[in-house]
């Protein structure tokens, strides 16, 4: 009678250990700089939470446990999550896992595990706890040919993270993604994130934080505010632009890559339009495209093969950026840095410009004038000198 009860409990435990439901949250949709390929054949768990991510998709998981200084994970959840077949032999209390041509055999209460006939000893035994069958993390990870990474709590990380992944899928451990994962484990509503910033929704409002590797996250309101440039202030990021169709936000990675990022913000719909080495100074829209002027200040070299006028086009949810106008021309500013208005219509973009790459001062001065720049391609027409 006692043997039948143990068998019944074990079978029930195996069933429970993989009974999760899939939620709508997806890391691929939440974090811009991770791909489906990065997340394929991966699993993320935490010993402090019953939440997990399988192939980047958030699920209700089975919480890992700590026992005798070792991390134990749910056997069936892990195995079947990676596509393995799990069988239990009630007669001898053995478990067989078949995965990618590999057969893994072990017994309840034993430290031995056999992989294709080769036996090794685990540090702790396979056990049942809370009606779930648990196995040491490293042993099941290595048996399934997965890289196992344990990211412990830190000052900026409230949750420990367990990552099982393919050996070449290193993007999951990027510091900024683990910070976003930590926010998701905290139950924060992440609206948008990438390697530069994260936007969350709290109390009906949007909040933003830079994902700086040097500091703990500190959130400030994320909402349009008119920026008025003053002679005594040089502001590189945290700048908003408003067009007839959208709002745009420029951020600056001042402490890492020193790049400028342009985002389109329509309510809670946020997309990264462009990343530029040069400062983004003005933004306009025409039809479905975004145009912006960059300035080659602060030691940025003027690239010889392009202009400072960019065009961003969206296709299948992704933005691509090219330049318009004649190579080497500098539009929207004169030689002293004074800004000029620029207009867009079906005939093109009209603004002040000059050939910054002229070999002599005289050549540069002779090129000064108003130009009509084609909306597509690298051509312009002098309208007024």
| pLDDT of res. 22 | 37
Residue-wise pLDDT for 67-109, tens only, equals: 888 899 999 999 999 999 999 887 888 899 999 989 999 998 8
**Mean pLDDT within 293-318:** 83
Q: Which helix (H) or strand (E) holds 16?
A: helix 2-16
- 371 or 306, which is more confident: 371
Q: Is residue 349 part of a domain?
A: no
Residue at 14 is within a domain: yes
- Given this model, what pLDDT does residue 251 score? 95
Spatial separation of the C-alpha atoms in residues 278 and 54, rounded to whole Å: 39
Please state the domain count of the chain: 1
Residues 329/245/241/320 CA torsion (nearest 10 deg): -50
Give the SS3 label for residue 177: helix
Say yes or no to pLDDT of 4 above 50.
no
Q: With bands split at pLDDT 50, 70 and 90, how would you rate the model's confidence at 206?
A: very high
Residue among 223, 169, 174 nearest 195 (CA)? 174
In a domain, residue 270? The reply is: no
Give dist(CA 88, CA 186) in Å, integer: 36
Per-residue DSSP letter, 173: G
Q: Give the pLDDT confidence of 125-169 residue by residue, as tens digits.
A: 998 888 888 999 999 999 999 999 999 988 788 999 999 999 998
How far lies 288's CA from each of 15, 161, 215, 243, in Å?
Answer: 51, 41, 37, 12
What percent of the chain is modeled with pLDDT above 90? 70
Domain of residue 136 covers 2-185
Q: Is residue 139 part of a domain?
A: yes
pLDDT at 342: 96
Residue 53 falls inside a structural domain: yes
**Bridge partners for 163 per DSSP:** 44, 149
Average of per-residue pLDDT across 232-248: 90
- Residue 160 in domain: yes
Q: What is the pTM of this model?
A: 0.87
pLDDT value of position 325: 96
Tell which wins on pLDDT, 306 or 229: 306
Residue 307 lies in a domain: no
Strand partners, 133: 128
Judge whether 367 lies within some domain. no
Is residue 364 very low, low, confident or very high in pLDDT (cuts 50, 70, 90)? very high
Q: What is the mean pLDDT of residues 312-330?
A: 94
CATH number of the domain at 17, please.
3.30.457.10
* pLDDT at residue 9, as a whole number: 41
Mean pLDDT of the chain: 89
CB 211 within 8 A of CB 197: yes
With H, G, I as helix, E, B as strand and everything else as coil, classify residue 196. coil
Parallel, antiparallel or unpaired: strands 70-74 and 65-67: antiparallel
């Amino acid at each position: 009678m006692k043997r039948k009860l143990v068998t019944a409990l074990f079978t029930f435990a195996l069933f429970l250990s993989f009974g999760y439901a899939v939620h709508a949250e997806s890391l691929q949709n939440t974090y811009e700089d991770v791909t489906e390929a990065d997340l394929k054949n991966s699993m993320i768990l935490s010993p402090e939470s019953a939440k997990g991510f399988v192939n980047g998709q958030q699920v209700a998981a089975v919480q890992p446990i700590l026992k005798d200084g070792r991390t134990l994970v749910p056997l069936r959840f892990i195995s079947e999550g990676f596509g393995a077949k799990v069988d239990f032999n009630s007669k001898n209390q053995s478990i067989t896992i078949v995965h990618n041509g590999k057969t893994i055999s072990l017994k309840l209460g034993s430290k031995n595990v056999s992989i294709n006939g080769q036996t090794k000893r685990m540090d702790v035994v396979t056990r049942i706890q809370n009606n779930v069958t648990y196995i040491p993390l490293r042993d099941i990870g290595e048996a399934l040919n997965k890289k196992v990474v344990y990211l412990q709590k830190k000052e900026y990380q409230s949750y420990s993270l367990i990552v099982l992944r393919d050996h070449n899928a290193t993007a999951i451990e990027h510091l900024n993604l683990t910070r976003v994962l930590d926010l998701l484990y905290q139950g924060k509503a992440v609206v948008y994130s990438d390697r530069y910033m994260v936007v969350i929704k709290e109390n009906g409002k949007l909040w933003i934080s830079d994902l700086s590797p040097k500091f703990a996250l500190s959130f400030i309101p994320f909402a349009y505010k008119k920026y008025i440039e003053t002679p005594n202030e040089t502001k590189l990021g945290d700048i908003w632009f408003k067009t007839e169709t959208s709002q745009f936000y420029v951020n600056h990675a001042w402490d890492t890559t020193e790049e400028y990022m342009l985002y389109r913000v329509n309510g809670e719909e946020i997309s990264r339009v462009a990343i530029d080495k040069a400062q983004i100074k003005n933004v306009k829209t025409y039809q479905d495209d975004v145009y912006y002027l960059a300035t080659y200040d602060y030691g940025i070299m003027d690239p010889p093969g392009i202009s400072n006028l960019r065009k961003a086009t969206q296709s299948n949810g992704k933005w691509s950026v090219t330049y318009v106008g004649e190579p080497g021309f500098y539009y929207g500013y004169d030689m002293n840095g004074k800004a000029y208005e620029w207009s867009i219509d079906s005939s093109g973009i009209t603004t002040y410009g000059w050939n910054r790459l002229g070999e002599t001062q005289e050549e540069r001065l002779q090129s000064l004038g108003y130009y009509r720049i084609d909306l597509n391609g690298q051509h312009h027409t002098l309208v007024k000198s």
